[in-house]
Amino acid sequence: MVRWTLSGFGDEIDADPAVQLPVLLALGSRHVEVRSAWGVNVVDMADEEVARLADVLARHGIGVSAIASPIGKSGVYDDPATELARLERVVWVARRLAARYVRIFSFYRPDGVDVAATRDTVLSRMRAFADVAERESVVLVHENEKLIYGDTPDRVLDVIESVGSSALRVAWDNANFVQVGVRPFSDGYAMLRPFIVYLQVKDARAPDGIEVPAGLGDGELRATLTALRDDGFVGFASLEPHLSDPAFPDVLSGPRRFGEAARAFRALTDDLGIELG
């Protein structure tokens, strides 16, 4: 039996960690991925808010799988010093909450600018991010967000190999690949597998890009999970379902649909002999 560690984006459930964490525990997870709490993004949290969050986590016996930062989800030609300072802050939060991983992105480009024209700037800025991570002993995980430089497998590989740092690795998101016209497993798994250390669990339909529970879309989840199992992956699998619920308009999923996403993922992993804990 292969065992992976289940986590999830708490703020997809509710803005308040006091609501997020019991839901995660009920779904069999003892970890949370922190993007925001009480409506405040992790990069904007005051020291007192971080301390308050640490206390809530400790009371519930919940660890932090990753800090889901917005770093690099910005313009490629925006002030680099500002974004670097924001990364420094997020890394401080990660260390305060005992999180090894920090999610980052590789920048949006202006309208009308060819992606190739941004490459040198992207790689220079990502190298500066890696320098911070190496110094602070954290691991940056690059998410293949839509419309950033690294939104396709070949450009994700370009970022990771060109920067050449053990402190920069891949957070794999099947749905985001679908939404840019990629068949995730068929087109990208083999080239990126050496660098995948973190799995963000999301699925989507190819025709319209709409997110659906794991295994119900075109994200090749079963093939991906099977290959990860067979390759010996033992990391975090973090639920980020993006399933809207009209009853909870202020969050991305809400507790009911987040639970639906968790059950769909667990049905897949159970069928594949993967234990979630």
Task: Give the residue extent of every domain in the chain.
Answer: 2-276
Cβ neighbours for 142, distance < 8 A, ≥ 6 positions apart: 72, 103, 104, 105, 106, 126, 150, 156, 159, 160, 168, 169, 170, 171
Per-residue confidence (pLDDT) for residue 14, from 0 to 100: 98
Per-residue confidence (pLDDT) for residue 1, from 0 to 100: 81
Per-residue confidence (pLDDT) for residue 145, from 0 to 100: 98
Contact 34, 40 (CB under 8 A): no
The topology (CATH level 3) of 2-276 is TIM Barrel (3.20.20)
Per-residue pLDDT of the chain (277 residues; tens, 9 = 90+): 899 999 999 999 999 999 999 999 999 999 999 999 999 999 999 999 999 999 999 999 999 999 999 999 999 999 999 999 999 999 999 999 999 999 999 999 999 999 999 999 999 999 999 999 999 999 999 999 999 999 999 999 999 999 999 999 999 999 999 999 999 999 999 999 999 999 999 999 999 999 999 999 999 999 999 999 999 999 999 999 999 999 999 999 999 999 999 999 999 999 999 999 9
Per-residue confidence (pLDDT) for residue 23, from 0 to 100: 98
- Residue 96, classified by CB atoms within 10 Å of its CB into exposed (0-12), middle (13-18) or buried (19+), is middle
Pairing label, strands 2-8, 40-41: unpaired
Per-residue confidence (pLDDT) for residue 57, from 0 to 100: 98
Contact 153, 123 (CB under 8 A): no
Report angle CA 267, 272, 276 to the nearest 5 degrees: 65
Q: Which helix (H) or strand (E) holds 204?
A: strand 203-204
Q: Print burial letters for 184-214: b (CB count within 10 Å at least 16), e (below 16).
A: bbebbbeebeebbbbbbbbbbbeeebbbbbb
Cβ neighbours for 133, distance < 8 A, ≥ 6 positions apart: 91, 102, 139, 140, 165, 167, 168
Cβ neighbours for 200, distance < 8 A, ≥ 6 positions apart: 143, 171, 172, 173, 238, 240
Per-residue confidence (pLDDT) for residue 223, from 0 to 100: 98
